[in-house]
Amino acid sequence: MGTMEHLWAPWRIEYLQRTPESGCILCLKPNENKDEANLILYRGQHNLVIMNAFPYNPGHLMVAPYRHTADLHGLGDDEAREHFGIMKKCLELLKRVMAPTGFNIGLNLGGVAGAGIADHLHTHIVPRWGGDTNFMPVLSDTKVMPEALAATYRKLKANL
């Protein structure tokens, strides 16, 4: 058996200890018409792409339906088809702009599965590079993010 790989993210303690906003951010943010401030990269007909404000790695994206639902089986065919198509486009964009050597892609369905926003379905796309975890998180609970969120947003938005 091989060894298990861990994606350490102790810097996300800021996310865990924050006072949660009232309401669902995946519903509220798209209605604010402040896409850059809210890190919304793309709006489709049924789904949007938003950058994770507390990323595991630079370029950490989330694809979410506009409709507030936690039920994967409840997605309509058009919603599901567009969701998957947008995921593919996000992979192409991240490969072209950030040149990761791999990805973690997943849905956390339910709070016990690790969903931070358990009531609103969303797919995480996390770019990965060899050595993207180093000694800093291990020694000092510090993750070195080589690029600011706003800079990553502008770079990705310009290359959509």
Render pLDDT for 89-129 as a digit per residue (tens, 0 to 9): 999 999 999 999 999 999 999 888 888 889 999 999 999 99
Least confident of 21-25, 66-70, 83-87, 115-119: 21-25
State how far the Cα of 12 lies from the Cα of 83, in Å rounded to an integer: 26
Q: State the pLDDT confidence band at 147, using cuts at 50, 70 and 90.
A: low
Which carries the bigger pLDDT value, residue 138 or residue 132? 132
- Look at residue 65 in the predicted model and tell me its pLDDT: 97
The one-letter amino acid code at 11 reads W
Q: What is the 3-state secondary structure (H, E, C) of 2-27?
A: CCCCCCCCHHHHHHHHCCCCCCCHHH
CB atoms within 10 A of CB 68: 13
- Look at residue 22 in the predicted model and tell me its pLDDT: 63
Name the burial class of residue 12, with classes exposed (0-12), middle (13-18) and buried (19+) by CB atoms within 10 angstroms of its CB: middle
Q: What is the mean pLDDT of residues 129-136?
A: 66
State how far the Cα of 39 lies from the Cα of 21, in Å rounded to an integer: 16
Residue pair 47/118 in contact by the 8 Å Cβ criterion: no
State how far the Cα of 11 lies from the Cα of 39, in Å rounded to an integer: 19
**Domains of the chain with bracketed CATH:** 34-158 (3.30.428.10)
Residue 137 in this model has a pLDDT that exceeds 60: no
Which carries the bigger pLDDT value, residue 146 or residue 108? 108
Render pLDDT for 3-50 as a digit per residue (tens, 0 to 9): 655 555 554 555 455 455 568 999 999 999 999 999 999 999 999 999
Catalytic residues, which ones? 122
Q: What is the mean pLDDT of residues 70-97?
A: 97
Q: Which residue has the tokens 């993210």?
A: 9
pTM: predicted TM-score of the whole model, two decimal places: 0.77
